[in-house]
Amino acid sequence: MRCFSGSICMLTCLTAIAVCAGEIVDAQSPTGQFRIGGVLSNAVTGEPVRRGVVQALDATGHAVSANTTDADGRFVLDHLAAAKYQLTASKRGFRTASFDEHDEFATSIVTGPNQDTTHLEYKLVPDAVLHGVVTSDDGEPISNANVMLFKRPKHQGDRVERANGTQTDDTGEYEIGDLAAGEYLLAVTAEPWYALHGNAAGKKNTALDVVYPVTFFDSTTDERAATPIEVGGGMRQEINITMHAVPSLHISIPAPDRGDGSVVVPQLQRLAFGSVIDTQSSGDFFGSAQGRSLELGGVAPGRYELTMGEPQHVVDVDLSANQQIDAEAGATASSLSGSVRMISGMMPEEMTLSLDRLDGGAGQNQFATEVRGKRFAFMPVPPAQYEVWATAGDKRMPVVAIATGGKEQPGNVFTVLEGGPALVLTLSGAMTRVDGFAIKDGRGVAGAMMVLLPKNLAQWKGLTRRDQSDSDGSFAFRDVAPGEYRAIAIEDGWQLDWTSPAVMSRYLRAGTNVTVSASASKVTKLAGPVEVQQR
């Protein structure tokens, strides 16, 4: 089942969590004859978790039963109807989690005749915490420094994502808690309290015209040399950062006239791991025989993305010295626009499109815009390969194909060229749910990773769906577009790179063929079970 609880939800909001599973019987009234029980334990030490709160949520996300664990970590949820329930558990010092949670998925518990639901081994992961002190090169604490945490991807080809952040207090200390296990990268920005910038300030006293570059752990200013931080459940790690003040840079950027008296104002955006962390576009304009320019002072050395001119140019720059930017530098950005068409279903009233850059190039790697009246227009984006995603509310709309210049290709991946033609995105609003069972040796298997893979590899990125099998082996792939697929069940498969055709190819032969037609009902049940394979 798809799980929306995760560690981001506090106990007070658990009852607002939706349950996404297969066929779920209404369980509004806790007056049935069935029960769910087991032991809640520390996933790291194995010790019982005492006085933890375990809840059973029904199909609407409301808690129908709750219990506090005893001294041995045992819990019992009584008087339950025959139905499917999402379990959540919480305890101060632990990450709130659903039962057997993996990524955004978990195993729901199915009650009813012949279902063993009273011997659950429920493991809760202790909080992980990063903390430390940010100091200057003379050992003084730096207050109000921005401490940013980025999550390294588990799978090749995925991007580094900003995960969390905080600011240091007046003693230079920071703390970031409630972290999931994984690898992280840490970056810090700050401003020397005594700094004075601008051309006048720099000429009067260069000792005050200083900045702190973005500084990464372990105190490097080169993100390529940043040391990953391995975070595990229950770990409390001290990560200290020292910032070194350096002379600020003064950058001259062309700012051409539009002819109506207005100026095309350049924008300089500072980057860390492909994400924009701040923007600098204020400065002094100067005119010369060569035209007008924007003089920026107080610029820290580091990686930036610069947009300038009309048509707009995008320049990836690694600033290390005072310089004048060439007006012809960089690639001409494309004002990406087009339309959306639906091959099935209704066009949502509100829809967001997002672009994720895939080529690993420097610069900003994500862009977003709104669809209005079936039309959309992104801010100018640099030439690169992208995948496009469509979201309506909390649902992702399948992007089936993309047409450029009248030529359509399947999938959601395309390449932006300089001055490229308008796009036509083909979306499916069918939103079919595919229900089935994962079995091994004739019995349902709980906790298997379920993957629905399009047979057309070009659609692999956009149309692949996942789920986790529930306690009786049932599963549900949601929001499936029409097409031909292969359903695969893998036991202990959560460490596999399911995005890689090379990795998943070995499991295809034993998979189950699935056909979803454009006229399929909202729920399609597989005729037979999916055999669970070993990782």
Predicted confidence (pLDDT) per residue in 89-135, tens digit:
999 999 999 999 998 899 999 999 999 999 999 999 999 999 999 99
Q: Which CATH superfamily is domain 2-124 in?
A: Carboxypeptidase-like, regulatory domain (2.60.40.1120)
Inter-residue contact 76 to 37 (CB < 8 Å):
yes
What local confidence, expressed as pLDDT, does residue 13 receive?
37
Q: Please, which pLDDT band fits residue 199 given cuts at 50, 70 and 90?
A: low
CA distances from 132 to 144, 155, 161, 230, 328 (A): 14, 29, 22, 15, 44
Percent of the chain with pLDDT over 70: 90
Instruction: Indicate the Cα dihedral angle 519, 525, 526, 528, nearest 10°.
Output: -150
CA 433, CA 509: separation in Å to the nearest integer? 23
Q: Which CATH superfamily is domain 432-534 in?
A: Immunoglobulins (2.60.40.10)
Residue 343 has pLDDT above 80, yes or no: yes
Handedness of CA 390, 377, 400, 349 (dihedral sign): positive
pTM recorded for the entire structure: 0.82
What local confidence, expressed as pLDDT, does residue 417 receive?
78
Other CB atoms within 10 Å distance of the CB of residue 310: 10
- At position 526, the amino acid (one-letter code) is L
CA distances from 296 to 41, 281, 410 (A): 57, 8, 45
Residue 4 has pLDDT above 80, yes or no: no
DSSP letter for 46, please: -
Is residue 64 within a helix (H) or strand (E), and if so which, with residue range?
A: strand 63-68
Instruction: Indicate the Cα dihedral angle 438, 444, 446, 450, nearest 10°.
Output: 0
Same fold, 129-246 and 248-331: yes
φ, ψ dihedrals at 165, nearest 5°: 180, 165
Inter-residue contact 54 to 74 (CB < 8 Å):
no
What local confidence, expressed as pLDDT, does residue 205 receive?
67
Predicted confidence (pLDDT) per residue in 263-307, tens digit:
888 889 898 988 889 887 566 777 665 678 888 888 999 999 888
DSSP string computed for 160-199? PEEEEEEE--TTSEEEE-SPPSEEEEEEEE---TT---SH
Q: Long-range contacts for 349-355 (Cβ within 8 Å, ≥24 apart)?
A: 350/392, 350/393, 351/390, 351/391, 351/392, 351/397, 352/390, 352/391, 352/392, 353/378, 353/388, 353/389, 353/390, 353/391, 353/425, 354/388, 354/389, 354/391, 355/381, 355/386, 355/387, 355/388
Q: Which CATH architecture has domain 129-246?
A: Sandwich (2.60)
φ, ψ dihedrals at 170, nearest 5°: -70, -5
Residue 25 has pLDDT above 50, yes or no: no
Please work out, in degrees rounded to the nearest 5, the angle formed at the alpha carbon of residue 278 by the alpha carbons of 272 and 283: 130
Please work out, in degrees rounded to the nearest 5, the angle formed at the alpha carbon of residue 200 by the alpha carbons of 196 and 206: 55
Which of 28, 40, 37, 38 is closest to 83 using CA atoms?
Answer: 28
Which of 51, 55, 47, 44 is closest to 15 using CA atoms?
Answer: 55
CA 463, CA 455: separation in Å to the nearest integer? 10
Handedness of CA 525, 531, 532, 534 (dihedral sign): negative
Q: Please, which pLDDT band fits residue 321 given cuts at 50, 70 and 90?
A: very high
For residue 17, the SS3 value is coil
What local confidence, expressed as pLDDT, does residue 294 receive?
86
Predicted confidence (pLDDT) per residue in 350-367, tens digit:
999 999 888 766 667 788
What local confidence, expressed as pLDDT, does residue 494 receive?
92
Predicted confidence (pLDDT) per residue in 33-77, tens digit:
899 999 999 999 999 999 999 999 998 889 999 999 999 999 999
Which of 499, 502, 507, 451 is closest to 475 using CA atoms?
Answer: 451
What local confidence, expressed as pLDDT, does residue 331 receive?
78
Predicted confidence (pLDDT) per residue in 497-514, tens digit:
988 889 999 999 999 999
b/e sequence 396-410, b meaning 16+ C-beta within 10 Å:
ebbbbbbbbeeeeeb
Q: What is the widest separation between alpha-carbon atoms in the chain?
A: 87
CATH of domain 248-331: 2.60.40
Q: Tell me the average pLDDT across 459-480.
A: 94
Other CB atoms within 10 Å distance of the CB of residue 363: 22
Least confident of 5-19, 205-219, 416-430: 5-19
What local confidence, expressed as pLDDT, does residue 282 receive?
61
Strands (E), 273-348: 275-280, 284-288, 291-299, 302-308, 313-319, 323-324, 331-332, 337-344
N-term to C-term CA, the chain: 20
Fold category of 337-428 in CATH:
Immunoglobulin-like (2.60.40)
The domain spans of the chain are 2-124, 129-246, 248-331, 337-428, 432-534
Q: Please, which pLDDT band fits residue 156 given cuts at 50, 70 and 90?
A: low
